[in-house]
Amino acid sequence: MLQQLKRHNYITPTHFLELSKGYRVILTEKRTELGNGRDKLANGLAKLVEARDGVEVMSVELEKKKVVCAQSQKDCENLLVEIVSERRVADEQRKQVEGDSERIGKEEIECKAIADDAEAELNVALPALQKAMAEVEKLDKSAISEIKAYKSPPKQVETVLAAVMILFGNKTDWTTAKKVLGEANFLQSIKGYDKDNVSATIMKKIKGYVSHADFKPEAVGAVSKAAGALCTWVHAIYIYASVAKEVAPKRARLKGAQESLAVKQASLQKAQEELAEVTAKVNRLKQKYDDSVGEKNRLRAEADQMELLLDRADKLVKGLAGENERWRASIGQLQNEIGRSLGDALVAAAFLSYAGPFDTQYRSNLV
């Protein structure tokens, strides 16, 4: 150096200290730089592997979701078929119920007409019966005792009591009449007499009494007010029973119609309940179908979104497949450089510490 540069070059301990310090700095910086580069590439490779695995997992999930979507679609179709079938049954039952309701409504009107007709005929006889019952209500034990007191009753009184005995199915003699009059429930028997079921035999016998010119409440009442009241009662029972006999066929027809109507009404009620059950079932199926369609649409939307993401991820993975080998090679190269960094850092630090005084040509020769 003295010959070429005309100056001395001194090596001192300071140069060694600079070498040591510079070596540590250069080695740290170089290893950090190379390590960062290697780690970035390694992270990139890990992301590629993760993406590839994710694509595989997503592909499996997509296939499963497609199967679920297909099953959901099938369930919706089956529900729709069931709804159509149940609705057909409901429509048929509804038509049947409507037809039955209309027919039963007409029968109800007919029953009411029969009942009204029978009631109208009976109402003709009711005023006389009500008048007679009002007269009977006036009777008390003293009035009955008045009649019983006769040892030999007047003819009109005896005739009235004979008619009363006939109505009760008893003998018509005065002894029997007095015995019946003495019964504690006699007046109650009069008031509660079964006027709707007087036999034809009794009616025939009573007709002979009520048609007699002397068998008049006014004439009998002039002799005995109590006997007059009973005479009025006998006339009223005869009139009412006569009308009831004429109305009896209508009542029988009404009873038969009402019984038939009751059976049909019960059948209609059952049909209406069954219709309500079928209608409720159809409504439940419709709600279930709507829910299934909503679920199917949700699954389809998820599958479409997953398929879109899968397509994008697959394209990305395939697009970066070529980078995989290059990055692996770069990682290997960087790893080798990290291994050589000890020597490279030492050479660099030594060059900086000791080659400073030399010219460019000499430095090049050193390298």
> Left if phi > 0, otherwise alpha if psi is -120 to 50, otherwise beta: which for 276?
alpha
- Binned at pLDDT 50, 70 and 90, residue 35 comes out as confident
* Distance of alpha carbon 24 from alpha carbon 1, whole angstroms: 29
Tell me the average pLDDT across 237-249: 83
In terms of pLDDT, which residue wins out, 51 or 25? 25
Q: What is the pLDDT of residue 135?
A: 75
Residue 355 exposed, middle or buried by CB count within 10 Å (0-12, 13-18, 19+): middle
Contact by Cβ (8 Å): 198, 167 = yes
Task: Give CA separation, 75 vs 69, 179, 221, 292, 304, in Å.
Answer: 10, 89, 92, 8, 20
Lowest mean pLDDT among 54-58, 165-169, 293-297: 54-58
Q: What is the pLDDT of residue 97?
A: 85
Whether residue 1 is predicted with pLDDT greater than 60 in this model: the reply is: no
Q: Does some domain include residue 295? A: no
Q: What is the pLDDT of residue 206?
A: 94
Q: Does some domain include residue 351? A: no
Q: What is the pLDDT of residue 5?
A: 56
- Binned at pLDDT 50, 70 and 90, residue 265 comes out as confident
Residue 190 exposed, middle or buried by CB count within 10 Å (0-12, 13-18, 19+): buried
Where are the strands (E) in the chain, listed by range? none
Q: What is the pLDDT of residue 142?
A: 85
Q: Does some domain include residue 43? A: no
Tens of pLDDT, residues 279-316:
888 888 889 889 888 888 888 888 888 888 888 877 77
Q: Does some domain include residue 336? A: no
* Distance of alpha carbon 262 from alpha carbon 264, whole angstroms: 5
Tens of pLDDT, residues 64-96:
888 888 888 888 888 888 888 888 888 898 898
The first and second tokens of residue 204, run together, are 């025939």
φ, ψ for residue 249 (rounded to 5)? -60, -40
- Binned at pLDDT 50, 70 and 90, residue 7 comes out as low
Q: What is the pLDDT of residue 249?
A: 79
Q: Residue 109 maps to which CATH number?
A: 1.20.920.60
Whether residue 28 is predicted with pLDDT greater than 80 in this model: the reply is: yes
Whether residue 239 is predicted with pLDDT greater than 70 in this model: the reply is: yes
Q: Does some domain include residue 229? A: yes
Q: Does some domain include residue 28? A: no
Q: Does some domain include residue 205? A: yes
Whether residue 48 is predicted with pLDDT greater than 70 in this model: the reply is: yes
Q: Does some domain include residue 266? A: yes
Q: What is the pLDDT of residue 253?
A: 80
Task: Give CA separation, 210 vs 204, 217, 222, 231, in Å.
Answer: 10, 10, 17, 9
Q: What is the pLDDT of residue 159?
A: 95
* Distance of alpha carbon 72 from alpha carbon 317, whole angstroms: 32
- Binned at pLDDT 50, 70 and 90, residue 338 comes out as confident
Q: DSSP readout, 288-345?
A: HHHHHHHHHHHHHHHHHHHHHHHHHHHHHHHHTHHHHHHHHHHHHHHHHHHHHHHHHH
| Residues spanned by the domain of 168 | 99-278
pLDDT, averaged across the chain:
83
* Distance of alpha carbon 320 from alpha carbon 44, whole angstroms: 10
Whether residue 167 is predicted with pLDDT greater than 90 in this model: the reply is: yes
Number of structural domains, the chain? 1
